Amino acid sequence: MSIFVLTQNAVNRYQAKRLVKIVRACYSNMESAKSETLCIPMQSAKAFVKNCITAAGASNNHANDMAELLVTADYRGHFSHGLNRLEMYVNDLKTQITSTEGDPKVEKETAATAMVDGRNLLGPAVGTFCMDLAIKKAKEAGVGWVAARQSNHYGIAGYYALMASNQGLIGMSMTNTSPFVVPTRAKTATLGTNPVAFAAPAKSGKSFVLDMATSTVAVGKIELQQRKNEAIPTGWGADPNGVETNDPSKVLQGGGLLPLGGSEQSGGYKGYGLAMMVEVMCGILAGAGFGPNIRKWGTTERIADLGQCFIAVDPNAFCPGFENRMQDLMDLQRDLNPSDPKKPVLVAGDPERSHMTKCDSLGGIPYPQNIVKHMNEMGEKLGVESMKAI
Ligand SMILES: NC(=O)c1ccc[n+]([C@@H]2O[C@H](COP(=O)([O-])OP(=O)(O)OC[C@H]3O[C@@H](n4cnc5c(N)ncnc54)[C@H](O)[C@@H]3O)[C@@H](O)[C@H]2O)c1
């Protein structure tokens, strides 16, 4: 028993150190966003990702899926889930903890549902396969619902929901993730930041795209406050006793993130409930790993076995005029008088669209100079041609 405890403590210390390293690298990159940026054309960024992923051993198709996903995340302004994560996927392939070849396999299906074995392939390869299947079923049966097991980190959940809304369908996607969130009234982190995405098409082509983690913030934001020696806002994290804290080091040393909403008093049990819902739709429904059984973030001692969920619904199976009503609903909110005249009322998807417009006007994605440098150095080791700025 005591040997087990000692070993476990050593493993925890190792994992904590690794996590801090990963988060630091991530935030030193993000902090430098304030410094000079380099504009990389999207095609160049995609070619770079594709070449790195194939050089690490994956097939062309899977590399294409990865390139589309990561560059879309950056284009939409979610830099934490774009090129910033490329190295993690490359390492997963190089160490072969993620499978490099093969195709996801449909294990069971009905007219509207399918259960897929992701065969431990890259998350975007599994996700793209599953959402394509859900879309096909929705076009035939009105609804397509696909659950996947044996998957890996699949990036921004919104990417898959958008695949459906780009074809006039309502799209939803969710994934479970490594445990980092402390349930309401608990002391231990047993749930991931389990994101959920929902996209619905509107007349103007500007879909409603809600794409969010079910925790208040990502762990990296806590680490950043710690590095700045600043308190964290109320509602972000808990100490090792499960008590809400403003001290970032208590969150990082044995505590955890609070679910969306924060403490019980401010409604955090709703975020907790949403994270559980994601687990039901993913880990539980698909028979994948779930909750604290999922490997710790940043570790690769065993496969991830994530569960994921992909849903497409054809609005034409319901009342005609869906896209018009969607447009009205969104415009009603956008046209409201803002409480701060400098900040117009938005709907989900608008902030990302502003970022995309900015990229379009620049002719590419503005990356901090040191991210591009870091990426190109990694590419060089893989024998991949560097990205070139405009
Ligand atoms: N794969 C994983 O393990 C994983 C885990 C967690 C998060 N993620 C991804 O990380 C990304 C970021 O997640 P997040 O929770 O930090 O997102 P966020 O807080 O930046 O945005 C959440 C949602 O709120 C909307 N929004 C933002 N400001 C708004 C405003 N003023 N009015 C109306 N709507 C507004 C956005 O359009 C978005 O849909 C997402 O793409 C998510 O899928 C992935």
Helices marked H in the chain: 2-31, 42-55, 60-75, 86-94, 123-141, 158-165, 219-227, 248-252, 268-279, 285-286, 322-334, 350-362, 369-381
- The rounded mean pLDDT for the chain is 91
* pTM of the predicted structure, to 2 decimals: 0.91
How far does the centroid of ligand 1 lie from the alpha carbon of residue 98, in Å? 26
Identify which has the larger pLDDT, 299 or 201. Answer: 201
Q: Which of 213, 253, 255, 263 is nearest to 233 (CA)?
A: 263
Do 208 and 199 touch, CB atoms closer than 8 A? yes
pLDDT at 226 over 90: no
How far does the centroid of ligand 1 lie from the alpha carbon of residue 330, in Å? 18
C-beta 349 within 6 A of ligand 1: yes
Do 98 and 121 touch, CB atoms closer than 8 A? yes
The number of the ligand 1 atom at minimal distance from the alpha carbon of 351 is 37
Beta-bridged to residue 189, according to DSSP, are none
CATH code for the domain defined by 35-101+363-390:
1.10.1530.10
For 85, half-sphere exposure in the C-beta direction (CA atoms, 13 angstrom radius) is: 24
Question: Measuring from atom 7 of ligand 1, which residue has the nearest CA?
Answer: 213
Q: pLDDT digits over 116-128, tens only? A: 999 999 999 999 9
Within 10 Å of residue 306's Cβ, how many Cβ atoms?
Answer: 29
Q: pLDDT digits over 160-196, tens only? A: 999 999 999 999 999 999 999 999 999 999 999 999 9
CATH code for the domain defined by 105-216+258-317:
3.30.1370.60
How far does the centroid of ligand 1 lie from the alpha carbon of residue 109, in Å? 31
CA 258 to chain centre: 18
C-beta 154 within 6 A of ligand 1: yes
245/231 Cα distance (integer angstroms): 9
Domain ranges of the chain: 35-101+363-390, 105-216+258-317
Do 191 and 307 touch, CB atoms closer than 8 A? no
How far does the centroid of ligand 1 lie from the alpha carbon of residue 60, in Å? 29
Q: Maximum Cα–Cα distance for the chain, whole Å?
A: 66
Type of residue numbered 165: S
Distances from the Cα of 166 to the Cαs of 204, 208, 317, in angstroms?
12, 11, 17
**Substitution site in 177, 206, 207, 212 for ligand 1 pocket (most atoms within 8 Å of beta carbon):** 212
How far does the centroid of ligand 1 lie from the alpha carbon of residue 5, in Å? 38
The number of the ligand 1 atom at minimal distance from the alpha carbon of 157 is 43
Q: pLDDT digits over 333-350, tens only? A: 999 999 999 999 999 999
C-beta 153 within 6 A of ligand 1: yes
How far does the centroid of ligand 1 lie from the alpha carbon of residue 214, in Å? 9
Q: Which of 297, 267, 299 is nearest to 181 (CA)?
A: 297
Residue 106 main-chain phi, psi, to 5 deg: -75, 120
